[in-house]
Structure 1
């Protein structure tokens, strides 16, 4: 009844656009990277192109979309994809209602993976460490960035050249690092992240970096989209104290 052909997101543009319109909120670059590096397959029913899905690392679904005209067959198609492609799990944002519902129909276990945040309409106190202490990283900062932040980010040199990294210093002491990266799927948005030097935690450094990054995003005409691991309570509290709220989760659902 169903057939599958290797394809691309561009080859499914009509469905992709409908998928984006169906989302109830945004997600960050962590999920974006998994979607954009997934193998994409078009779904056909009796030679009619009815949707598409994406598979990351041969076993994890990251996308599943069926047109409204064929939606009454969606559960049947979903089950067949799980069987034919030997899918073990899915990365699902809670803002994708239909994909989430399908995954819950077949789940064996649900893992809470991450929070996705958005700006709240509330005024917060000023950063403890002002903007003028945070500078765009240069190659002169590279050795210290690697030594202090480890594998918090990859491709350090390229990120420095692309002006994605910011270093917060006071009296020449490396207090922390910020990251701004353009989102690809979520247009006009920028992912933000921060790392605080372990020697200087609990001083408001992370919060200051997040607030300063938010300001930079606004100056760029972009919407900041931070996220954090679900069980990182410190990061969650830092983001909330910086004027962010989370209505959306990322789930890993096992089948």
Structure 2
């Protein structure tokens, strides 16, 4: 998540021993079959298959996409390939059959007629399969998966504490398209995932942190600053405080922002985050 930017063909490099081992393990799991039969709508892929996909990624899953996956429609193929659609957008695609991944994606498109696709730039198999369809990409967001040294600036008047239900309306009042509903704010506070930031005893912003995948170490962080106290370094202060806290717990802070949100990108970079990856938006004939 992050200030706030409110999945995939199996990438099997056949020249790589580790990749061949992974392919063999997946093939054993799903009962490898190269036939080009139809995809079928299903409740979800098996737990082991989804874990195989997540393990194939060189970087942690993106929280924004994970939210779309959780609310998405699953289509599975008998060979173990699957896709996840959110409306008319393909948000995840995975295939254990590297040799036919592009053909299988084309078959899925013929069946479902998805009109867009969102892919992490580091999910190279998915990206390559989309390019095989002749689709072109634009950058929709910046994904931060690395953090380097930074100069921390403390703000004496700023304090951070766990949010309470009494804070909810104040956070909603200063909301600037960060939260979708007041109920979302209330739920985050209730789950202990929302931090309240005050300056001179007035609520001036918030921080949100979420474990992206329950059994993995990536924690997505995001923040919001009230309009009247922006450009004072408070955003960087919040991001640093949250990232430091996550790292102190032995976990990995990650984040992202929209491609046009230059202010958020600068804030994250000041907090030491480095973006070498993008969220790509693909469309036919772009």
TM (norm. structure 1) is 0.88
The residue aligned with 2:31 is none
Distance 1:179 1:116 in 2: 17
Distance 1:80 1:119 in 2: 36
Residues 189 and 50 (structure 1), Cα distance of their counterparts in 2 relative to 1, 3 Å cut = closer
Alignment partner for residue 85 of structure 2, among 52, 55, 76? Answer: 55
- Is residue 87 of structure 2 the alignment partner of residue 87 of structure 1? no
Kept in 2, the 8 Å contact 1:2–1:77? The answer is no
Alignment partner for residue 113 of structure 1, among 133, 140, 152? Answer: 140
The residue aligned with 1:148 is 174
The residue aligned with 2:30 is none
The residue aligned with 2:246 is 217
Kept in 2, the 8 Å contact 1:65–1:99? The answer is yes
The residue aligned with 2:21 is none
Residues 196 and 130 (structure 1), Cα distance of their counterparts in 2 relative to 1, 3 Å cut = same
Distance 2:69 2:211 in 1: 15
- Is residue 241 of structure 2 the alignment partner of residue 206 of structure 1? no
- Aligned to 1:129, the other structure's residue is in SS state coil
Residues 4 and 192 (structure 1), Cα distance of their counterparts in 2 relative to 1, 3 Å cut = same
The residue aligned with 2:39 is 4
* Aligned pairs (5 A) from 1:1-255: 1-11=36-46, 13-44=47-78, 49-57=79-87, 59-67=88-96, 70-122=97-149, 124-129=150-155, 133-153=159-179, 154=181, 155-184=184-213, 187-255=216-284
Q: Give a deviation string over 1:188-230, Cα, whole Å, max 9, x none.
A: 2211111111111111000000001112212433211111111
For structure 1, the residue ranges without an aligned partner over 5 or more in a row are none
Residues 28 and 139 (structure 1), Cα distance of their counterparts in 2 relative to 1, 3 Å cut = same
Kept in 1, the 8 Å contact 2:157–2:200? The answer is no
Give the CA deviation at 1:130. 5.9
Q: Which has the higher strand share?
A: 1
Q: Give a deviation string over 1:28-54, Cα, whole Å, max 9, x none.
A: 31111112222112213xxxx242111
- Aligned to 1:149, the other structure's residue is in SS state coil
TM (norm. structure 2) is 0.79
Output the aligned Cα RMSD. Answer: 2.1
Give the CA deviation at 1:71. 2.7
Kept in 2, the 8 Å contact 1:107–1:254? The answer is no
Kept in 1, the 8 Å contact 2:38–2:107? The answer is no
Residues 76 and 185 (structure 1), Cα distance of their counterparts in 2 relative to 1, 3 Å cut = farther
Q: Give a deviation string over 1:222-252, Cα, whole Å, max 9, x none.
A: 2111111111111001101101001111111
Give the CA deviation at 1:119. 3.1
Distance 1:42 1:118 in 2: 29
Give the CA deviation at 1:108. 4.3
